[in-house]
C-alpha cells in the first residue's frame, strides 16, 4: 500500500473550503512521511516555527500510538483542515488493541502541552473486533 496524498489547493480561510488528507500504511516506517507533511502543512498555513515543531511532534506521538495498535494491513489517515484561525489535524486508524494514553500520564501531558486542544474518539466497528480511533489536535494560529 503506497501513501496517497490528496489536496485540491492550499487550505482556505474557512471550514470546508479545502483540506489536505494523507492515507498511508499503518506501519512505523511511514512516520517520516507523516512528519514531513505535517511540517509542510503547518508552515503553509502560517503557523510559527515553534507551532510547526510542536504539531509535528504531537502527530509523531499520536501516529506512533495508533500504528502500534492498528489492525494488520490497515491504513492511518491524517487530515489537515483550517477552521477559521485554527489548524485541525485528525489522525484515524482501525485499532485492535489498547493505545489511548491515560489522562494525567506523561504521554497525555506531552500531547496537551504541544497542542491547544486534544480530543480522542473511539467507535466500535460492526464486527466488534476493532475500533475506529481518531485523535484531533488543534493549533491556533497567531493573531
Establish if 14 belongs to a structural domain: no
| Range(s) of the domain holding residue 69 | 21-140
Q: What is the CATH number of the domain that holds 43?
A: 3.30.565.10
Please give the model's pTM, rounded to 2 decimal places.
0.83
pLDDT at residue 101, rounded to an integer: 85
- Residue 83 cell numbers, joined: 477552521
The torsion defined by the Cα of 100, 142, 78 and 115, in degrees rounded to 10, comes to: -10
CA angle, 105 then 36 then 41, to 5°: 90
Distance from C-alpha of 35 to C-alpha of 30, rounded to nearest angstrom: 9
Q: Decide if pLDDT at 66 tops 60.
A: yes
pLDDT at residue 15, rounded to an integer: 42
Distance from C-alpha of 137 to C-alpha of 88, rounded to nearest angstrom: 6
pLDDT in tens, 98-140: 888 888 889 889 999 999 999 999 998 888 788 999 999 999 9
Task: Using alpha carbons, list the distances in angstroms from residue 130 to 72, 94, 95, 125, 127.
Answer: 11, 6, 6, 6, 7
Establish if 51 belongs to a structural domain: yes
Of 130, 52, 55, which Cα lies nearest the Cα of 91? Answer: 55
Distance from C-alpha of 143 to C-alpha of 140, rounded to nearest angstrom: 9
Report the domain count for the chain.
1
Establish if 7 belongs to a structural domain: no
Q: Decide if pLDDT at 6 tops 50.
A: no
Amino acid at each position: 500500500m503506497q501513501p496517497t496524498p490528496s489536496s485540491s489547493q492550499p487550505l482556505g480561510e474557512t471550514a470546508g473550503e479545502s483540506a489536505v488528507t494523507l492515507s498511508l500504511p499503518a506501519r512505523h516506517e511511514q512516520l517520516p512521511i507523516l512528519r514531513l507533511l505535517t511540517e509542510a502543512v503547518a508552515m503553509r498555513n502560517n503557523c510559527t516555527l515553534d507551532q510547526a515543531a510542536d504539531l509535528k511532534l504531537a502527530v509523531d506521538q499520536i501516529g506512533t500510538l495508533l500504528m502500534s495498535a492498528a489492525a494488520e494491513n490497515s491504513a492511518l489517515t491524517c487530515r489537515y483542515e483550517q477552521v477559521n484561525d485554527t489548524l485541525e489535524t485528525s489522525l484515524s486508524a482501525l485499532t485492535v488493541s489498547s493505545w489511548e494514553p491515560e489522562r494525567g500520564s506523561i504521554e497525555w501531558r506531552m500531547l496537551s502541552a504541544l497542542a491547544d486542544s486534544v480530543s480522542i474518539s473511539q467507535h466500535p466497528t460492526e464486527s466488534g473486533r476493532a475500533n475506529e480511533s481518531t485523535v484531533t489536535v488543534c493549533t491556533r494560529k497567531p493573531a
